[in-house]
Chains A and B, each alone.
Chain A
């Protein structure tokens, strides 16, 4: 798949805007989800995820195609979410995470599956709880935990995405795991 993307990027670099559509389509769910988990709001996630793709397009010539495109794209998206988090007022930031409506927004966008309604409800409460615990982690831990366990990047790739030494990635992933362990061990 990385190969198909590489080919598309080549076309985009040559000025073929339409080729970018396939790139967006391929990564839209991943990048949207990443932004959503970072920001806790579907509205902001949409905004920032779109901005990430637009920036990727505008700066496509600075992308070095010997490297993985996804790492580069996640880097743009992560930096944008961090900027957005910084601009928020601290109290608004906490509010947004506990507000029930965001959860509703999120679940209304989940892909449908064929689980029985009662299983779904029970699953939803646990899902909600876990999601809340992740969203309450400080952003520098949250981003790493997500990149590792939801997007399944290697520690080395995470170090490239976040532009921090691999030793720092490890320290943060350990602390993030411990913090979540304390919150989730009784689940």
Chain B
């Protein structure tokens, strides 16, 4: 298997959960023999973990209040329609 083309493509399919059972076993066999690709897949998985490990930012305290204050004024007649 060509590492740069085929194997790499399969690795990404694997990461996207898009891989067929047959392709999965092809990839598995290739990885058993190819340490370069093993390392590559490991690095890709690590990258994903690192991205997911980044801390979450929160909206400022008064965020919702500010949005609500900027909304166009509620049309009175709509209320009566309910």
Contacts A24-B67, A32-B63, A184-B50; A177 near B58 (Cβ below 8 A): no
B44: A residues at CB distance < 8 A = 177-178, 181
Q: Does B5 lie at the interface of the complex (its beta carbon under 8 Å from any beta carbon of A)?
A: no
Identify whether the interface residues of A are mostly helix, strand, loop, or mixed. Answer: helix
Contact with B along A37-54 (1 / 0, CB 8 A): 000001001100110011
B21 contacts partner chain A, Cβ-Cβ < 8 Å: no
- Complex Cα distance, B66 from A53, in Å, reads 11
Question: For the complex, is B1 an interface residue (Cβ under 8 Å from A)?
Answer: no
Number of interface residues of A (CB under 8 A): 45
Least Cβ–Cβ distance between B55 and chain A, in angstroms: 5
B11-34 interface mask toward A, CB cutoff 8 Å, 1 = contact, 0 = none?
Answer: 010011010000000000000000
Q: Indicate if the CB atoms of A130 and B51 lie closer than 8 Å.
A: yes
Contact A106/B16 with A53-B67, A149-B48 known, Cβ cut-off 8 Å: no
Is there an interface contact between A14 and B78, defined as CB atoms closer than 8 Å?
yes
For the complex of A and B, list the 8 residue pairs with the smallest distance between their C-beta atoms, beginning with the closest.
Answer: A15-B78, A32-B59, A28-B59, A185-B43, A17-B74, A174-B12, A24-B64, A149-B51
